[in-house]
Amino acid sequence: MYDEIFDENHLVRPHCEVLRQWLLQADEHLIAEKRREADVLFHRLGITFNVYGEDQGTDRLIPFDLIPRIISAPEWQRLQAGLRQRVQALNRFLYDIYHDYDIIKAGIIPAEQVFANNQYQPGMQSLKLPRNIYVHIAGIDLIRHSDGDYYVLEDNLRCPSGVSYMLENRKMMMRLFPELFADCPVAPIDHYPALLGETLRASSLNPDPTVVLLSPGRFNSAYFEHAFLAQQMGIELVEGPDLYVRNNQVFMKTTSGPRQVDVIYRRIDDDFLDPLIGNPDSMIGVPGLYAAYRTGNVVIANAMGTGVGDDKSIYPYVPEMIRFYLGEEPILKNVPTWQCRRKEDMKYVLENLHKLVVKETQGAGGYGMLIGPASTKKEREWFKNAITARPDNYIAQPTLCLSSCPTFVEQGIAPRHLDLRPFVLSGKKIQMVPGGLTRVALKEGSLVVNSSQGGGTKDTWVLEGEPC
């Protein structure tokens, strides 16, 4: 297992020296008090989430760990280059499958995996989007394996969430431990809302566009983030009933009358955006929105139909996308993946369920997943039947050993597994702030970092220049 702070000789990594000194000098009672203070502040700010299906209907805090995850400047430079490359290729792929189909004609990706995909939107075919951008905001999940290298675990291209926690974690650390930042050249991230606003405005051909954030409402698990980002960008937070379509143009209701909307940063899935072409029972969408979109009178970020690009059955082809569209070798690695739709892959998976991670191709949030080494015989039997019934609905990967970082738990400080979700913005250029959301599996031995599955978060420090 790769340790983010100590090397194989149990020596502290150079860029983590200040953190080691801080931990050695940390007063246990003071740290406990700081943790309680953080919980109180997060509650007061409303930084909570809820888990769908829970009876109590109460918001929960995402556990916040006080020990930051540190990334050196050279590491981040390589990650940044790899993320730019990957998102650029994914945008090229999405344009291609709705226009020229070159990657399908070349035989690199089977046609049925694109056109029969539940997320494919035939109505997007031949639709011209400004700058050919489909994914304005991407959240790319990375893990570091025991070999010390980073791997992309999945690409989130529809409505990636979590950036508000990244920002609030940094604010909390600066409030609780300002002395650490005085000793360490940590790259700033507080300009993310400005970059996001710039990206959204750049998606419109209107030089002074009206941008809104469309939310499903306060019962959505990420509603805090919706309100936070709208406030930080200085744009209106709206829900479906706040908008209407007239003459294929989208308008927002205001106290001073209708106002035309040019860009919608949507936090609603495709099926619920417009009940006239999606789910007819949707009460959170805008009737007629799709027609306005097709006419080119409004931009939707991220574009409709982007879900094909983050389907887990498409994920294995991303390295080939990079070679095909960019003529470059992938900088970031993919995790080896078996596609159960292939007979030989399914045979291997069924025979090795006890040591593989099995995922639904369109699953999210840590649900619909089997972690073989931690599974029961009953769970493996259930997945065996499910895979046999719908092989195209599942992929499998080896059980990777996620890197660990010291974490405050009830017993004291102990290593816990973590991942990293950087947020990549595509507008006139591809931009990102240094770092991302680090999620940590707080349960001992667990590899599941999702907040809905008991995970927490950490501040992510990317160092500028020399190690601190």
pLDDT at 312: 93
pLDDT at 42: 84
Percent of the chain exceeding pLDDT 70 equals: 95
* Domain edge (last residue) among 377, 399, 421: 399
Same domain, residue pair 88 and 148: yes
Q: CB-based contacts of 299: which residues, under 8 Å, 6+ apart?
A: 129, 130, 203, 204, 209, 262, 263, 264, 293
Residue 249 lies in a domain: no
pLDDT at 41: 84
Residue 289 lies in a domain: no
Same domain, residue pair 430 and 347: no
| Cα–Cα distance measured from residue 17 to residue 123, given in angstroms and rounded to the nearest whole number | 55
CATH number of residue 375's parent domain = 3.30.1490.270
* Domain edge (last residue) among 373, 399, 425: 399
Q: Please check the confidence at residue 73 and state whether its pLDDT lies above 50.
A: yes
Same domain, residue pair 155 and 42: yes
Q: CB-based contacts of 429: which residues, under 8 Å, 6+ apart?
A: none
Count of structural domains within the chain: 2
Amino acid occupying residue 416 = R
- For the residues 178-199, what does the mean pLDDT come to? 94
pLDDT at 369: 87
- The highest-confidence range among 45-49, 54-58, 97-101, by mean pLDDT, is 97-101
* Domain edge (last residue) among 375, 399, 423: 399
Same domain, residue pair 320 and 406: yes
Q: Which residues pair with 416 in a beta bridge?
A: 405
Same domain, residue pair 392 and 327: no
pLDDT at 56: 47
Same domain, residue pair 347 and 432: no
pLDDT at 57: 47
pLDDT at 466: 61
Residue 9 lies in a domain: no
Residue 138 lies in a domain: yes
> Is the four-CA dihedral 385, 387, 388, 390 of positive or negative sign?
positive
pLDDT at 7: 85
Tokens of 412: 């004291």
Same domain, residue pair 340 and 457: no
Q: What 8-state DSSP symbol labels residue 326?
A: I
pLDDT at 27: 78
How would residue 337 be classed by pLDDT, with cut points 50, 70 and 90?
very high
| Mean pLDDT for all residues in the chain | 92
Give per-residue pLDDT as tens, 249-301: 999 999 999 999 999 999 999 999 999 999 999 999 999 999 999 999 999 99
Same domain, residue pair 379 and 318: no
Give per-residue pLDDT as tens, 366-409: 667 898 998 999 999 999 999 999 999 999 999 888 999 989 88
Q: What 8-state DSSP symbol labels residue 222?
A: T
- The alpha carbon of 393 is separated from its chain's Cα centroid by a whole number of angstroms, namely 21
pLDDT at 447: 80
Same domain, residue pair 65 and 168: yes
Residue 395 lies in a domain: yes
Same domain, residue pair 178 and 91: yes
- The 3-state DSSP class for residue 12 equals strand
pLDDT at 183: 80
Give per-residue pLDDT as tens, 310-327: 999 999 999 999 999 999
Region of residue 19 (left: phi > 0; alpha: psi -120 to 50; beta: else)? alpha
pLDDT at 30: 83
| Cα–Cα distance measured from residue 281 to residue 417, given in angstroms and rounded to the nearest whole number | 41
Give counts: helices (H), strands (E), the chain: 14, 23
CB 141 within 8 A of CB 416: no
Same domain, residue pair 425 and 347: no
Backbone φ and ψ of 12, nearest 5°: -70, 140
- For the residues 15-40, what does the mean pLDDT come to? 84
Same domain, residue pair 24 and 76: yes
| Cα–Cα distance measured from residue 307 to residue 114, given in angstroms and rounded to the nearest whole number | 10
Residue 212 lies in a domain: no
Q: Please check the confidence at residue 48 and state whether its pLDDT lies above 80.
A: no
Domain range spanning residue 366?
A: 336-399
pLDDT at 452: 65
Residue 203 lies in a domain: no
How would residue 448 be classed by pLDDT, with cut points 50, 70 and 90?
confident
In 3D space, the residue among 28, 62, 22, 27 whose CA is nearest the CA of residue 45 turns out to be: 62
Dihedral in degrees, nearest 10, Cα atoms 372, 377, 378, 381: 70
| Cα–Cα distance measured from residue 145 to residue 337, given in angstroms and rounded to the nearest whole number | 15
Output the DSSP codes for 91-136: HHHHHHHTTT-HHHHTTSS-HHHHHT-TT--GGGTT---GGG-S-S
Q: Please check the confidence at residue 123 and state whether its pLDDT lies above 70.
A: yes
Q: Please check the confidence at residue 45 and state whether its pLDDT lies above 80.
A: no
Residue 342 lies in a domain: yes
Q: Please check the confidence at residue 23 and state whether its pLDDT lies above 90.
A: no
